[in-house]
């Protein structure tokens, strides 16, 4: 049996979307293997049946349509419909195991990505301010030298700021955590460079520090469950549980003591008060909406 994963990219220059289909299996020596089955162009409007047909044709081309065990995709709405259509195609052969319940496996890394992207909107202005600071300093050799001199005077480790990729939250986290190490440098740099006008203030850094302490858990979990050289199905739950424990602690710490007491003694009442049902349709991500309000809303 083989498991499939898919992902889609959009070419900026050509404005064309591509989908890659990869198969994964364990060989006779119990070693994880993977092969790229196809790099497919998906023309507009890229509806569910187009995605489903493209995957099925790719699998059929390689003659493994009777060996498919499961498939993992991101949580886009059109992918949900595509998976339903794809499951119907595979189920006709009667080769799906577990009464077809094991066919679709959600992408945990993508769910974590949605949660983080949602939370980062609360400090969007601060993130942009730091991004502009990094760009302004790194675009000029003279400014880089000036920044490095201040770093040396303050005896701080490291000398260089790093840029981020706006579409990758882990890159943004690395930029913020790196800039956080140089928080004392930016005010002095602003005093020496009259053209530098986007210096974060003390309150901004406090918010960034708080957010980075939370994102560290997401970053670590994503690094582990995104591994491609080892099985991850036995690892994701432990990592997600760590995040939940951290969010629970941060959530309670952000509340007044009397509110914490209410949560402990009357959990059901408090869930109703905030509009969160005991069993939400959104599950962990749905509850994160409530976490975000208290943790990221600063």
pLDDT in tens, 112-170: 888 888 888 889 999 999 999 999 999 999 999 999 999 999 999 877 899 998 878 89
pLDDT at 72 over 70: yes
pLDDT of residue 262: 47
Question: Minimal CA–CA distance to 68: which of 114, 109, 104?
Answer: 104
Q: CA 205, CA 201: separation in Å to the nearest integer?
A: 7
- pLDDT for res 46: 80
Sign of CA dihedral 246, 252, 254, 257: negative
Paired with 21 in beta bridges are 6, 38
Pinpoint the residues of the chain covered by CATH 3.30.420.
Answer: 2-106
Coil/strand/helix, residue 9: strand
Could you please state the CATH topology (level 3) that the domain comprising 2-106 is classified under: Nucleotidyltransferase; domain 5 (3.30.420)
Q: What is the mean pLDDT of residues 81-106?
A: 81
Of 14 and 28, which is predicted with more confidence? 28
Average pLDDT, rounded, for the chain: 82
Percent of the chain with pLDDT over 90: 40
| Pairwise CA distance, residues 217 & 210, whole Å | 12
**pLDDT, tens digit, 9 for 90 and up, residues 41-63:** 888 888 888 999 999 999 999 99
Rounded to two decimals, what is the model's pTM?
Answer: 0.74
Banded model confidence at residue 298, pLDDT cuts 50, 70, 90: very low
Residue 267 confidence (pLDDT): 45
Predicted pLDDT at 259: 53
């Amino acid at each position: 049996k083989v498991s499939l994963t898919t992902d889609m990219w959009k070419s900026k220059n050509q404005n064309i979307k591509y989908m890659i289909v990869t198969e994964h299996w364990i060989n006779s020596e119990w070693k994880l293997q993977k092969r790229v089955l196809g790099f497919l162009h998906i023309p507009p409007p890229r509806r569910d049946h187009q995605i489903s047909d493209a995957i099925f044709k790719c699998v059929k081309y390689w003659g493994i349509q009777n060996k498919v065990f499961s498939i993992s995709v991101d949580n886009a709405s059109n992918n949900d419909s595509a998976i339903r259509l794809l499951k119907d195609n595979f189920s006709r052969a009667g080769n799906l195991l577990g009464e077809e319940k094991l066919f679709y496996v959600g992408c945990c890394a993508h769910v974590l990505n949605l949660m983080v992207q949602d939370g980062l909107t609360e400090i969007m202005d601060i993130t942009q301010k730091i991004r502009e600071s990094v760009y302004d300093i790194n675009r000029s050799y003279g400014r880089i030298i000036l920044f490095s001199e201040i770093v040396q005077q303050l005896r701080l480790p490291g000398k260089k700021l790093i840029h981020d990729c706006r579409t990758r939250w882990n890159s943004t986290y690395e930029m913020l955590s790196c800039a956080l190490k140089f928080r004392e440098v930016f005010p002095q740099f602003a005093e020496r460079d009259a053209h530098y006008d986007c210096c974060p203030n003390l309150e901004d850094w406090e918010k960034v520090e708080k957010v980075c302490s939370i994102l560290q858990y997401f970053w670590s979990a994503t690094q582990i469950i995104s591994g491609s050289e080892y099985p991850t199905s036995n690892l994701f739950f432990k990592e997600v549980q760590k995040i939940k424990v951290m969010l629970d602690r941060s959530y309670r710490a952000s509340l007044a003591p009397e509110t914490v007491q209410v949560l402990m003694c009357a959990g059901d009442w408090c869930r109703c008060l905030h509009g969160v049902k005991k069993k939400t349709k959104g599950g962990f991500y749905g509850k994160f909406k409530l976490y975000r309000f208290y943790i990221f809303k600063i």
